[in-house]
Amino acid sequence: MTEVKNEKMNRVTVHLDEKPIYDIVMTEDFSALPGEIEKLSISNRRLCIVTDSNVEKLYLNEVKELLAPCCKTVISFVFPAGEEHKNLDTVRDLYETLILNHFDRNDMLAALGGGVVGDLCGFAAATYLRGVAFMQIPTTLLSQVDSSIGGKTGVDFDAYKNMVGAFHMPKLVFTNINTLQTLPDNQFSAGMGEVIKHGLIKDAAYYEWLLENAADIWARKPEALRKTVTWSNEIKRAVVEKDPTEKGDRMLLNFGHTLGHAIEKLKNFTMLHGHCVAVGALAAMNICKERGLVNQDEINAYRALMEYFSIPTSVSGLDPEEVIAATKNDKKMEAGVIKFILLDRVGHAYIDRTVTKEEMERALAAIFR
């Protein structure tokens, strides 16, 4: 992949079947948002900005004021922050707000927030009146590099993560990277777990760049953030274009997720998703090492990078057998065979259907304290 240039505003268009579907616009403030909305010709529509209680305090007024002149009316729906509110009860409240405000099929939703807001708002948009338009305004690192792109939407059902969902493409992804300046460190760190994964699975040059520029990224220097978000967007865009409904290449994004999800679940979601995935990736790299695909130096470099970004490199208090049992409930199972993502080298992943229980046990031993 060619190196991504540094520019203050970056635009990439996501295509499906070679048709342009939506733009991902990356800037350093919200000022270009009205212009982007006008391009969608929604000027006579109602808009509902969906956000959570943390993002509301930081960005809702600014975004609302900017968008008010381009729409018929702008309302907002705020729900309490946290994964535990990504459920059908919150969706129900949102439907009710839309109905009481007479939203019809021509009206639109905007998700202002992290992946929780994006997934929930997108799901409501996919289902309200059999589908209305929505846009993503992601404000966490994870949502800017990952969840806002690709049209996967959904909510949790009881203890089951993302159990109810739909594919529903946004009309626009508008990323203001400056919002990352207010993100708590642990959330930034979790997002870096997914960022590093992008390099490991798809792009050795990106991975090298991350190793070399870790200090500027961790200091959240705008230029480093710009390049990180742009580069990761480019990787995610290419993957979802090739495989919009996760039949093939998109599964590579699940590197670290088979063991990561199992750990996340057994830890009762007290460990952040990006952290679980990064640790799962470390375990998976141990399988790759045993198979002679990566070497110990490469594992050490990855572990050092995790440490630099305050990502945990080990897990305690879990039983390896329970973790392995939990991987069996993973959505990545197909006809009883686990589709494990491995690296055949740093910067290139593939789907492997031959990972044994013993390999998983040894991989877990490498990350368990």
For 231, the token pair is 């580069």
- The amino acid sitting at 146 is D
Q: 13-32: which residues touch ligand NAD (CB under 6 A)?
A: none
52 binds ligand NAD (CB under 6 A): yes
Q: Closest CB to ligand NAD belongs to which residue?
A: 115
DSSP code for 114 = S
123 or 302, CB closer to ligand NAD? 123
Pairing of strands 133-138, 172-176: parallel
Q: How far is the CB of 123 from ligand NAD (least distance, A)?
A: 9
Residue 155 lies near ligand NAD (rule: CB under 6 A):
no
Q: Does 117 bind ligand NAD (CB under 6 A)?
A: yes
How many chain residues interact with ligand NAD (CB under 6 A)?
Answer: 27
Does 162 bind ligand NAD (CB under 6 A)? Our answer is yes
The CB-of-2 to ligand NAD minimum distance in angstroms stands at 25
Q: Is 199 in the site for ligand NAD (CB under 6 A)?
A: no
- Tell the smallest beta-carbon distance from residue 320 to ligand NAD (Å): 25
Q: What is the side-by-side strand order in the sheet with 172-176?
A: 10-16, 19-27, 172-176, 133-138, 108-113, 46-52, 73-79
State how far the Cα of 256 lies from the Cα of 317, in Å rounded to an integer: 19
Q: Are 48 and 76 in contact (CB under 8 A)?
A: yes
Q: How many CB atoms lie within 10 A of CB 110?
A: 30
Q: Does 146 bind ligand NAD (CB under 6 A)?
A: yes
User: Which DSSP state fits 185?
Assistant: H
Interface with ligand NAD, residue 90, by CB under 6 A: no
Q: Which residue has the tokens 């960005």?
A: 59
Closest CA to 117 of 109, 108, 107: 109
Tokens 């897990």 locate to 315
Measured from the CB of residue 180, what is the shortest distance to ligand NAD in angstroms?
A: 6
Among 183, 196, 217, 342, binds ligand NAD (CB under 6 A): 183
Q: Per DSSP, what are the bridge partners of residue 182?
A: none
Number of residues written out for the chain: 369
- 142 in contact with ligand NAD (CB under 6 A): yes
Task: Tell me which of 90, 136, 140, 286 binds ligand NAD, using CB under 6 A.
Answer: 140
Kindly list the residues in this chain that would bind ligand NAD in the complex (CB under 6 A). 52, 54-55, 58, 81, 83, 86, 113-117, 119, 139-140, 142-143, 146-147, 150, 152, 162, 179, 182-183, 187, 273
